[in-house]
Structure 1
Amino acid sequence: MTSSLAPDAETLVIGGGVVGLAIAAECAIAGQETYVIERNNAIGQEISSRSSEVIHAGLYYPAQSLKARLCVEGRQRLYAYAKDRNVAFRKLGKLVVATSPTEAETLNKIAEKAKINGVDDIRFMDAADIHALEPEIAAVKGLFSPSTGIIDSHGLMQALETDVTDHRGTVVLGTAVRHVRRRPDDLFEIEMSTGCEIANVTARNLYVAAGLGMGELGPRLPRAAAYTPPPLYFARGHYFALRGGRPFKRLVYPVPVEGGLGTHLTLDLEGNVRFGPDVQWIDRVDHAFEEDNGLRLRQFEQSIRRYWPSLPDGALTPDYTGIRPKTSRQGEPARDFEIHGPKDHGIPGLVALYGIESPGLTSCLAIAKYCVTLAREC
C-alpha cells in the first residue's frame, strides 16, 4: 500500500561520513528533499577522518568486484569533483616496491589485476628507476601508479555537505537512530534521539551508511525473513608520523599483507610523512593508540627499513589510529563491499552498506551513484 501522506523527507541517509554525505548529495542534487542523520556532533568523525586520505588507482581488487569497479570510476569522478569544488588534492603517484624476488612476482600479479581493472597507466621500474624517483628507497623492482594521489578528506566532506544544504537538504548532528520500521503505507519510520529528546521522522527512501555502527544497526533494519545482514568485524590500524625532514615526494607501498596494504609511506598535503596502518583485530570500536611497551614501534621500524634502510633511530612518533569495518574475520580473504538493495533484503527503497573500508573514500561518488540506482530496483 502506498501512502497518501507526504513523508517528512523523500530520502533519509543514516551516517554523516564521506559515503553517507556523497549519497545525500547525489539525492539532493537530483531534487529529493534529503535528511542526513549523524550520531556524532560533527560530520566524518569515525572512519572518514582517520584514513590515509589516499586516492587509490584501483590496483589490488578482484576483477569485476565492486571495489574494482567503483574505485576506478570513483577516482576519476573524485579528481574532477575536487578540481571543480576547489577541494585540495595532489596527484603525487605511488610506488609499490618489492624488496625480494618473491615480492617481485607479487608485483607482476598486481600489474595483471590492475590492467584487468582498467588501470592502464602503470609501469614497471627497476632499482635504478626507483632510485631516480626516490633516492632513499631500496627495492629490486617497483610498480609506479601515476594516477594515485591524496586529498583533503575534511574539505571533501565539507563540499559534499554544502551540496546537500544548498539543495534543500538538512544534516542533523548529535542524533542517534534507535529504531527503523517499514510502515504498512510503505514509508520508513525512523525513531531517533538527541540527548534526552526522542523524535520520529518518515522517509520514502532510506540509505544506511553507518560505517562502524552497521554491526549494531544492520540487524535492526526491516528485512524479509530469508535475509540476514552480514556481521561486522573491526581491524584497527596505527599510524606513526616521521619527525624532522621530508625526504619523499611520492607515496611508497610495500607489497600487500593479510588484512591490508602493508606499512606504507604516505604524505599529507603539506608534505609531512606518516607510516601505517598496521592491522590489529579488535572486538569493539576503540581508537586508543596501543604502544605495547614499544613493541609496535619496533615492528614499524623493522617493516619500514625493508624499503627505507636509513630510517633514523627515534624518528617515529605515535600519530593516530583508524578502524576498518570488515565483513570477513581475521584469517579469511578480504570481502568485497557489501551494498544490499531491495533484491537482497526484499524491502523496496532501502539500501544498506556494510564493510565500506578502503577504497571507500576514493569510491564515494561512484558508490553514491550505484546506491541510487540500486534503490530503484525491485
Structure 2
Amino acid sequence: MGVKKRFAVIGAGIIGAAVARGLVQKYDGADVTLYEKEDHPAAHQTGHNSGVVHAGLYYEPGSLKALLCRRGVSLLLDFARAHDVAFEECGKVVVATNDVEVERLEGIHARARANGVPDVELLDRDGLLEVEPNAEGVAALHSPHTGIIDYRGLTEALVADFRRSGGRVRFSTEVRKIEQRSGSTGSTAIVHSSVDSQEYEQVITCAGLQADRLAARSGEDKSPSVVPFFGQYFILEPRFNDVVNGLIYPVPDPKYPFLGVHVTRRIDGGLMIGPNAFLSFSREGYKGLGLNVPDSLAVATDPGFWKFAAGNMATAAREIGGVLSIEKFVAEAARYVPALCGADGHRATRGIRAQAMNRDGNLVDDFVIDRARATMFVRNAPSPGATSALAIAEHLIDTAALT
C-alpha cells in the first residue's frame, strides 16, 4: 500500500466542514484533519446568519459568486434531504415602493434570469398581494424557490458525515500559522497549532473572521483585510409569525454598500427583521457592547477602512438608527409590510460579517482565494457563502488537484 495523502482544513464553519467532507469523498483512504479553535462547529458566521438559502438574484452573471450560488443551492438541498436537515422553500419577494425602485427591480430580474434562477417573475401590485397579502409596493420580483434552512444543523451533519468517512476533527485547537516547506518530492505545509505541529501535502484554510490574520501570520499579504460589521436581528413576538408567507426584501439602493432591513421567516416558525450593518468593535463579540480592544485597534489602523468610512457617511447615518432604536428598525420594515408597524419582540444574538476590504477602501464583493504553494487561503467568502458552501468546496478541491 502507498502512503496516505495527508490534508488539513482550517475552520469548521460550513465551508470548512464541506471542504473536509469533500476531500474524504474524493480521495479514498486519505488522511484528512479538520482543525477548529472552538469546541464545536459553526461557532461564528455560520451559526449567526439569517438562515436564508439564496437563489442567485443579484450577482453579476458569469461571476464566481453567481456560478457557485446556483450550483451550491442544488448540492445544499440534496444534502439536507439526505440527512434530515430542516429546510423550507418559502419563497421571496423583492418589493419596489416607487418608480425608481421599479427600474432597479427590472435590472435584478434580468440578472436573475441570466443566472438561471428558476421561475423568477416580475409582479404588479395585484400580483404581489396574491403572494404576500400584507406587503405594500407598486411592483415586486418573486423568487418562489428561495428558502430557509438550519445552517448550524447542516454544518453539524457535514462534520458527522466527515467523521463517518474516516475524517479526524480537532476541536479546541487553534492554528497559529502555516509554514511552507519545499523538498525533493515537492512542497508540503506544516500546520503549527496551539497543541502541536503537523505536516501535510495540502492545506486549505477557511478561517472566516480570522482569515486575514492567519494568512499574515503565515507570511502572506495582509490585504485584503477583514473589517467586521455586525448585523442586528429583531425577533418579533409570536402574534406576528403569520403576517408574511416567506421572505420580503427591499430593492437594494446603489448608494449604500449593504442591503438594508428585510423580513425573514425563521426555520423554527418565528419571524424576524434585519439585519442592519454597522462597524463591529469585535470580530467575535456577539452580545453586549462586543468591545475587543485589539480588534478595535486593528480597524483604527487600517487605512482602507478610513477611506471606506469617508465615502460612506450616509450609510452610517442610515444604519445607526436601527442600532440605537428598535422603533426605527421596525419602522423601516413596516415601510413595505405595514402590518408590522409598532411590532414588539426582542433582539437576537447579533451576527458578524467578515467583510474583506482592499487598501483603497473598496469592499471585496466576490470570492477571493489565494495560493501559497501547498496551501490555499480562502480570503473572502461573502454572502451567498453559506448557500454556496458545497459548491465552494468542489471548486477548492478541484483547484487544489490541478497542482
Counterpart in 1 of 2:344? 315
What secondary structure sits across from 1:313 in the alignment? coil
Instruction: Note if 1:325 corresponds to 2:322.
Output: no
Structure 1 residue corresponding to 2:376, chosen from 348, 351, 357? 351
Counterpart in 2 of 1:288? 287
Post-superposition offset of 1:328: 2.8
Post-superposition offset of 1:230: 2.0
Note if contact 2:224-2:357 (Cα within 8 Å) is conserved in structure 1.
Answer: no
TM-score calculated relative to the size of structure 2? 0.84
Counterpart in 2 of 1:366? 391
| Counterpart residue identity of residue 173, structure 2 | T
Post-superposition offset of 1:101: 1.1
Larger mean Cα displacement after TM superposition, 238-247 or 289-298:
289-298
Q: Describe the superposition over 1:291-348 as per-residue Cα deviations: whole angstroms up to 9, x where unpaired.
A: 989733133122112101232425132112111112236973552111223xxx4x1x
Structure 2 residue corresponding to 1:178, chosen from 173, 176, 179? 176
| Counterpart residue identity of residue 375, structure 1 | A
Counterpart in 1 of 2:213? 216
The 1-side partners of 2:377 and 2:21 are apart by 17
Instruction: Note if 1:251 corresponds to 2:247.
Output: yes
**Cα 1:372–1:148 shift into 2, 3 Å:** same
The 2-side partners of 1:372 and 1:213 are apart by 21
Counterpart in 1 of 2:301? none
Instruction: Note if 1:189 corresponds to 2:190.
Output: yes
Instruction: Note if 1:25 corresponds to 2:21.
Output: yes
The 1-side partners of 2:210 and 2:262 are apart by 27
| Counterpart residue identity of residue 137, structure 1 | A
Structure 2 residue corresponding to 1:262, chosen from 236, 260, 263? 260
The 1-side partners of 2:352 and 2:322 are apart by 21
The 1-side partners of 2:61 and 2:208 are apart by 24
The 1-side partners of 2:145 and 2:35 are apart by 34
The 1-side partners of 2:362 and 2:180 are apart by 34
Q: Describe the superposition over 1:227-271 as per-residue Cα deviations: whole angstroms up to 9, x where unpaired.
A: 665222111110001113212221111112433332111111232
Q: Describe the superposition over 1:5-31 as per-residue Cα deviations: whole angstroms up to 9, x where unpaired.
A: 968x61100000000000000001122
Instruction: Note if 1:12 corresponds to 2:8.
Output: yes
Instruction: Note if 1:169 corresponds to 2:198.
Output: no
Counterpart in 1 of 2:331? 302
Q: Describe the superposition over 1:185-206 as per-residue Cα deviations: whole angstroms up to 9, x where unpaired.
A: 322111111xxxx311111110
| Counterpart residue identity of residue 147, structure 2 | G
Post-superposition offset of 1:362: 0.5
The 2-side partners of 1:325 and 1:294 are apart by 19
| Counterpart residue identity of residue 374, structure 1 | T
| Number of residue pairs aligned between Structure 1 and Structure 2 | 361
Post-superposition offset of 1:83: 1.1
Structure 1 residue corresponding to 2:197, chosen from 182, 191, 200? 200
**Cα 1:72–1:293 shift into 2, 3 Å:** closer
What secondary structure sits across from 1:266 in the alignment? strand
The 2-side partners of 1:182 and 1:130 are apart by 56
**Cα 1:376–1:76 shift into 2, 3 Å:** same
TM-score calculated relative to the size of structure 1? 0.90
Note if contact 2:72-2:387 (Cα within 8 Å) is conserved in structure 1.
Answer: yes
Counterpart in 2 of 1:54? 52
**Cα 1:22–1:202 shift into 2, 3 Å:** same
Counterpart in 2 of 1:241? 235
Q: Describe the superposition over 1:112-137 as per-residue Cα deviations: whole angstroms up to 9, x where unpaired.
A: 11111121420111111111222211
The 2-side partners of 1:293 and 1:128 are apart by 31
* Superposition CA RMSD, Å: 2.2
Percentage of pairs with the same residue:
31
The 2-side partners of 1:293 and 1:255 are apart by 18
Structure 1 unaligned runs (5+)? none
Structure 2 unaligned runs (5+)? 290-319
Note if contact 2:135-2:336 (Cα within 8 Å) is conserved in structure 1.
Answer: yes
| Counterpart residue identity of residue 317, structure 1 | H
The 2-side partners of 1:151 and 1:210 are apart by 22
The 2-side partners of 1:128 and 1:289 are apart by 43
What secondary structure sits across from 1:63 in the alignment? coil
Note if contact 1:218-1:229 (Cα within 8 Å) is conserved in structure 2.
Answer: no
| Counterpart residue identity of residue 250, structure 1 | G
Post-superposition offset of 1:110: 0.5
Note if contact 2:322-2:328 (Cα within 8 Å) is conserved in structure 1.
Answer: no
Post-superposition offset of 1:377: 3.0
What secondary structure sits across from 2:90 in the alignment? coil
Note if contact 1:34-1:164 (Cα within 8 Å) is conserved in structure 2.
Answer: no
Instruction: Note if 1:338 corresponds to 2:377.
Output: no
Note if contact 1:289-1:318 (Cα within 8 Å) is conserved in structure 2.
Answer: no
The 1-side partners of 2:127 and 2:275 are apart by 26
**Cα 1:228–1:53 shift into 2, 3 Å:** same
The 2-side partners of 1:334 and 1:222 are apart by 21
| Counterpart residue identity of residue 189, structure 1 | I
Note if contact 1:28-1:163 (Cα within 8 Å) is conserved in structure 2.
Answer: no
